[in-house]
Every structure is written in structure tokens, then in C-alpha cells.
A and B are shown apart, each in its own frame.
Chain A
Amino acid sequence: MPARTVFTASIESVSILDEHGRFDAQLGADLIPDEDVIKLYEAMTVSRQFDQIAFKLQRSGRMGTYPENRGQEAASLGTAYALNNDDWLVPCYRENTGLFWRGLPMEYILLHWMGDERGNQIPAELCITPLAIPIGTQLLHAAGLAWACKYRKEDRLACTFFGDGATSEGDFHEAMNFAANLDLPVIFLCQNNGWAISVPTKIQCSAPTLAQRGLAYGMESIQCDGNDIFAVVKVVKEAARRAREEHRPTFIEAVTYRLGDHTTADDARRYRDEAEVQLWMQRDPLVRLRNYLTERKLWNSTKEEALQTKAKEQVNAAAKRAEEIAATPTSEIFDAMYAEIPDEVRRQRDTMRTSSLGQEQRGIEASPAPSVEETV
């Protein structure tokens, strides 16, 4: 008996405003009102300015390692735009633009990279989880957050961001598998930027697309031009509809490119060709959107100049707030560990200045708990 084909599949790739400025009027019809397109362009510009100022802060020793977002603004921004404000955003660390759009004050991101946990103390109403440093682990949190939304019968979803490298991690598989099999309203937004530090995507995946990985989980999966904000908004809106109405997850591969180094501690010239970078400069999502607006007479150099000035002011003000934030007492590292501080941790807190490792028992006044008396 001849073998039968039991499964065939294909992956669609969506592009609306391409790198040459061609706009697909049918796909893009009624997608984003003009006034919003302008706002989205402004948001990208502020984010690009944020990168520049953050880079300078790092280079001048005023901030630690920082990962630039340059070139990838459209993917997270379009996603945040397409979702509701009470949908969870579960980022990794290259989604500044989308997080700012949601309302995250810019100084939070600066504080994080300045080594201050208050950068992760994100107001609950923003529904944003803090930057995730390990790769791919946050995908499971998104699945859990989405699960909670479903359990409570809330009209909400969770959207998590990650890179091409994360699709090699075990947690990627487990999260996709949980979301598909337990019917969870999750959007998996993969920013395929071509590089996981120095390792190209082909070492993470030998299939022609990352998107097809989602098919193996029985999940709707699609690719889009991640540098095309219209395409991102289009596919995320459809994924959000699917999550809300069907409690089904979607995997989106947004094809983009990291124009900068991995972080300020990296030098991408060591591993990738300048010609490749130049090619992607032509596909820059910000330039693309500015050209689109200019061509449609919605933008001009006067507006651009005013925007650049405003963006600089905004970012500088955020940097000032981040740098001038009052220091917290060292005791906070102890107090933040548990809802109720255990006796031993309390002893270490109260004696850290007076003993080698909180072992001295004398002079514990701040401690209301029964302490072990001095014996020697």
C-alpha cells in the first residue's frame, strides 16, 4: 500500500509596507488610522533616541551593559499597539519601544541597566513583566499568565517576546506545547533578528522559517516582515482575535535585524559582514515609516526637527530621573526577599556593618523577633 500524505502545511509571510515603500492597499486598508501612524513613528523616533542616549550613558560609565533596540522598533511597537492595555506583555530585553508605548516610564529601563531593581518594580496596571535575562524562560510565564486569564474568564491574553536563539531552548518547546495543548490565549512573538550574539539563525534552525516550528505544535503560525509596522499590527491583531475568541495560541516570526551590537559589551564586527548591515539599513523600520509619511504629506522636515528636539528632551529627562533617584538603604536587599523576613536574614541585615557575616549578636535593636542571645 503506498504511503499516504497525512499532513501538509505552508507558512504565509505578510508584508504591507515593504522596504521600497510599496504599500499593499488591500491588506493595509483601515488597519491603522493616519493619526496613529504618526504617533507610532514618533514612538519609534523616541525609542531610537533612547538608544543613543543610553549608549552614551554606558560609554561614559554612567550605566552598565545595555542592549540597543535599533532596527527592531517596529516588532514590539506594532504588537503593543495591536493589543489591549490589560493584555500581558512578557518581554525579554529588546522591546523598549513596545513597553514605552504601553506606558512604561523610560527611566524604568534605564534603572534596570543601571543595576537598580526598581527598574523592575513595574506598576501593576501596566501588565508588564520585568525584562527577562535568561533566554526563553519567560515564555512559560506568559503561558501561565494566559492560563490565569482563561481560568478567570477574563478577556485578556499574554504576549511574550523572544529572539531566534530562544527557539533552541527547551522552555520554548515546553511553552509552545503547553499553550497549544491546554488551549491558552498566548501570542509567541519571535523577533528573528538574524543573530544570537555571534551565532546566526541557521545554527538555531535548519528549516527555512522559524514560523514552521509552531506548526508542529498544532498552532497557527505565520511570518511577517518585522520591520513593517503595518504587517506586525495585522498579524498580531489576528492572533489576538484567535486568543480571545478561541483561546488558541499563535506563533509569529517577525523577521527583523539587530542594527547594533548585541549589547554595549559586544562588537558585532567580529562576526558579521558590514555589507549585511548595510543591506538591513535599507530596511530600517523607522526610515521606512518616515518615507511613507513624507510621501503621503503627513510628515515634513519641520515636524521632524521638532520631534527630534522633543525626543531628546524626553529621554534626557528620563535619564535625569534615573540618575537622580534617591538611593535605597542596603537593608532593602534583605527586606525584599520574603513577605516576612526570616530571623537569620534579619540578623544578617541588622549586623552587616558590625560583623563579618551578621553573626554578631550584640546591638540588635531593630529586630523585634526573638534573637539568639550573645554567648561569648
Chain B
Amino acid sequence: MANLTLVQAINLALIQEMERDDRIILLGEDIGRNGGVFRVTEGLYKRFGAERVVDTPLAESGIVGTSIGLAMAGLRPVPEIQFEGFLAPAFDQICTHAARMRSRTRGALTVPLTLRVPVGGGIHAPELHSDSPEAFFAHQPGIKVVMPASPYDAKGLLISAIRDPDPVIFFEPKRLYRAFREEVPEDEYTIPLGKARVVTEGDELTIISWGAPVVQCMNAIESSGKSIELIDLRTIDPLDTQTIVNSARKTGRVVIVHEAPKNCGLGAEIASRIMEHCFLYLEAPIQRVTGFDTTMPYYKMELEYLPEAERIGKAIEEVAAY
């Protein structure tokens, strides 16, 4: 056991997987000598060499497109896109090819890549370094979307993502990179994709969240004094409908919290699934606490945009009182 930050937990997972499987190669911008702009790949270039930790040209479509080729050839590429704001140039390769290759070849070719992407706001970063685009990719069939909210989960989920036979986007909430430490086992372990985590059990109200806002939810719950069940989705696609439904039926009151804009955010899909399966159990309308339907503001105002504990607290009050 070691007390690790989320950055260290991911670094450890990469080391252990790379030692175990020489099909894994890392590629991306500044991930080699520089160890990544967030130092996630610190020390890996030295440890595994330039053939396995590759500084690529500055080209996101190129990083994902060549990773698709590497994966189709049977390797296990783990490309990094430096910030989620720079995913757009790679969107074509992700959605046009990575997500569809298994289906369009009826399994003759597959794309087992894990695309690591720092995500979200809250670190005073420049423009296009703070967005939450997970719903774009959840909407695309054929690709899995994962977002850990703790160092322990980050390690176990990343190992599962790397071993998964299908393409996975692994979003790393930058706000949590060094926000806190947690006991993370040295030994390898996996956390299954598609399974949510019940962070705190409760019976008055359910909060569903993922990524950095999970921490805000914990703060809001603590100050609410209520018995609240907090679900951290861990995997956004496929959604763990069963865990969501079990909790919604138990509490009858649901708040969904995410950083991404409200319109067509994952919250809408989750609310709809709850309606499909829990309509008669509900005591109150499902409420969403989300980013706003605006562009992500520059950092001076980012904390007003992000779903902070205070705003989550208001939703708790409203839904509980309904």
C-alpha cells in the first residue's frame, strides 16, 4: 500500500501494465522526455525507452489514427491527448474508425486502444483546457468512456481499460490529479468497466455523479446532514443502470451532478433511464446540477460555472423538500 495521488496511481498502473505486456506502447505529445505536461508519464521514457514511450508530432488526429493502426495490428496502444479541448481534431478518427471497426468488420479487426485524456475545469487553466466533452463520446456506439474520481479507482479502472478488447476513452479529472492522496495497493487489481461505485450509502436521497464533482458532492452531503446515497458512475458508457435504479427505487429522490453543460448532457440520459425503470418510485422530479449551457468561461469565473458544493446543496434541499 502506498499513499498516492491520482497522477501517481495512473503512473503506477502504466508501469505495471507495461511490464506485464510488451504490446503496450504509449504515444502522445510531450509524454516522453518531458513525462507529460501533468507528469503522468514521469519516468516511463527512461524506464521503457523511446520505442515504447513515443513523443509524436503535434497532431491529435495523427495520434489517434496511428493508434488505430497499431491496435488493428494487435498492439495495445495507450495514446494521450494532452487536454480534452484538443480532442476535436481526433474526433473523426475516434468516431469514424475506432468506434466502428469491430462492427463494420464483424470482428475481423478490432481496436483495443485506451485514449487517456485529462478532463474538466477547476485548475485555472487557459481556454480550451477545462471542458467536459464526455457526452459526445458516450453518444457514439462502440467506444467506452471511463472517468475515475479517486486514485484507487484510477489505477484499477485504467488497468481494466488497457486490457479491454474495445476502444476506451479514459478521462482523467485534472482537478483531482493532486487534490488528495489515497491508499493504493502496490499489487495489481482491476475494477470492472461498467460498474458504478456506491461511495456513501443513504436512504433519503440519491446523488449520481462522476469525475471531479464527486468530491464536491461529498462536501455537499457532509454539510447537508442527510442520509444520502452517492453513486460515482466510474464508467459513463456503458452506464451501470442497475446500480442507479436500485438506489433511485430506494430513495425516490435523485440529483444528478456533472460538469458538462446541461443540454443533452449525460444527466438527461440517466434521468430518462430512471423514468423508464423507477417512475412509480419517485417522490420528486429528478434534478440536475450541471455546468451551464454556455461555453466554459475563462478561469476567473470557472468556479461559478462548475457544480460546487453550495449549488449541489441547494438541489439537495429542494429535492428533499419536494
Contacts and interface: CB of A to CB of B under 8 A. Distances in A.
A354 interface: no
A144 B65 CA distance: 7
The A contact surface, by secondary structure, is: helix
7 smallest A-B Cβ distances: which pairs? Answer: A144-B69, A140-B65, A148-B73, A174-B62, A342-B238, A144-B66, A339-B165
A35 B66 CA distance: 39
Interface in A321-362: 332-333, 336-339, 342-345, 359
Given A178-B56, A182-B54, A336 B238 contact: no
B247 to A, nearest CB: 12
A118 B107 CA distance: 10
A171 B238 CA distance: 30
A143 B279 contact: no
B109 to A, nearest CB: 7
A158 interface: yes
Contacts of A149: 73
Contacts of A141: 65-66, 68-69, 72, 97
A134 B96 contact: yes
B25 interface: yes
A300 B69 CA distance: 45
B277 A372 contact: yes
A177 interface: yes
Interface string B91-108: 011001100001111111
B35 interface: no
B291 interface: no
Contact of B241 (A88, A130, A336, A344): A344
A123 B56 CA distance: 31
Contacts, number: 151
Interface string B279-291: 1110000000000
A122 interface: yes
B87 interface: no
A337 B102 contact: yes
B56 A182 contact: yes
A339 B280 CA distance: 35
B78 to A, nearest CB: 13
B202 to A, nearest CB: 21
A8 interface: no
A142 B279 CA distance: 50
Interface residues on B, range: 35 or more
Contacts of B29: none
Interface string A242-264: 00000000000000000000000
Interface string B51-82: 10010110101101111111111110100000
B153 interface: no
Among A120, A148, A333, find the residue whose CB has the most chain B CB atoms closer than 10 A: A148
B146 to A, nearest CB: 13
Contacts of B56: 178, 182
Contacts of B106: 117-118, 120-121, 332, 336
Contacts of A143: 62, 65-66, 69
Interface string B227-249: 00000000000110110010000
Contact of B75 (A124, A148, A338, A370): A148
Nearest to B235: A342
B141 to A, nearest CB: 6
B286 to A, nearest CB: 16
Interface in B16-34: 25
A343 B69 contact: no
Contacts of B308: none
Contact of B278 (A88, A177, A370, A375): A375
Interface string A95-120: 00000000000000000000001101
Nearest to A127: B73
A122 B72 CA distance: 13
B62 A151 contact: no
Contacts of B187: none
B51 A151 contact: yes
Nearest to A357: B276
A181 interface: yes
B7 to A, nearest CB: 27
Interface in B126-156: 141-142, 144
